[in-house]
Amino acid sequence: MLFLHKAGSLKVLNLKDCTWINGSMQFPASRHLECLILEGCLLFSPTIQKSISNFENLVSLNMKRCKLFKHLPQALCSMKVLKELLIDGTKIQRLHFEEGSLPTLEILSACECEVLCEVTDSIDLLKNLQKLALRNCKNLIELPAVIGKLVLLQEMDLSDTLIKVLPPSVENLENLEVLKMVGTYLKGFPEAIKDLKKLKELDFTHCRNLRGHCHIRGLFSLRILRLKYTRISHVLARDNGQLFLHIQELDDNIVWQTVP
């Protein structure tokens, strides 16, 4: 049994790939710990629950590649200052949050969660969320209709998921700057993003079912547009000035057209 009785004043505890950690390990309560890294540890959900419940002032929690981790721990409800939650590569099946949990969360990363199939309406509790990364969650087929309530969201990565459409409420994401949907099953340019004035980067590369017109005339801040390997036929721009983006990655057959 391992006791960390001298760790009470630590601000960062890095246990990355410490496969010897098990349920007998005792984490002392600490008001000082701000960053806990459990990446690659073979811990079951109940063990993680017990491990993090003593750290009420955590700002960053990294549980990447905790392959035995299947459920969000109840202890998250008591974490009132957590800003970053990283659960990439875990066996989490659904993202569901209890009332009052994670009021200050800014970054949620759940990439490469191969059995993740649902993001529930409870995500609208994360009022301060600025970055949502769900890349390579190959069983995720949709976002909840309430996603538009995350009005502070700046970056969303849905690449390599099974998502075919974006909810209409996405039009309310007025602070969104980056949208990546590489390799998804979009069939048409999403109506909901046409007037997102702060959107700077749009990446639909390898969306092979995406066809028709790409409407960027209302995207006043757009600087990066990636449409390689799609079936988009026209890009509808506001004026000739929109033709000179910082980065353009388009198929040769795409036609630019200005629309007044």
Q: Residue 24 pLDDT > 60, yes or no?
A: no
Which tokens sit at 117? 């199939």
SS3 call for 76: helix
In terms of Cβ atoms closer than 10 Å to its own Cβ (0-12, 13-18, 19+), residue 172 is: middle
- Return the domain boundaries, the chain: 1-140
pTM for the model: 0.91
In this prediction, residue 127 carries a pLDDT of: 96
Confidence class of residue 18 from pLDDT cuts 50, 70 and 90?
A: confident
What does the longest C-alpha to C-alpha distance in the chain come to?
71
SS3 call for 121: helix
Confidence class of residue 35 from pLDDT cuts 50, 70 and 90?
A: very high
What confidence tens digit (pLDDT) does each residue in 153-189 have?
999 999 999 999 999 999 999 999 999 999 999 999 9
Average the pLDDT over 248-253 and give the result: 90
Q: Residue 202 pLDDT > 80, yes or no?
A: yes
Q: Residue 4 pLDDT > 60, yes or no?
A: no
Helix then strand then coil, in percent of the chain rounded to 5, is: 15, 20, 65
- Range of lowest pLDDT (21-30, 106-115, 119-128): 21-30
Cα(16)–Cα(100) distance, rounded to whole angstroms? 29
CATH number of 1-140: 3.80.10.10
In terms of Cβ atoms closer than 10 Å to its own Cβ (0-12, 13-18, 19+), residue 229 is: middle
Do the beta carbons of residue 128 and residue 151 sit within 8 Å?
A: no
Confidence class of residue 15 from pLDDT cuts 50, 70 and 90?
A: confident
Higher pLDDT, 29 or 36: 36
- How many Cβ atoms from other residues are within 10 Å of residue 160's Cβ? 20
Average the pLDDT over 127-144 and give the result: 98
Confidence class of residue 31 from pLDDT cuts 50, 70 and 90?
A: confident
Q: Residue 119 pLDDT > 70, yes or no?
A: yes
> Helix (H) and strand (E) counts for the chain?
1, 16
In this prediction, residue 46 carries a pLDDT of: 62
Give CA separation, 40 vs 10, 46, 63, 69, in Å.
21, 16, 7, 10
What confidence tens digit (pLDDT) does each residue in 212-235 have?
999 999 999 999 999 999 999 999
In this prediction, residue 6 carries a pLDDT of: 53
In terms of Cβ atoms closer than 10 Å to its own Cβ (0-12, 13-18, 19+), residue 70 is: middle
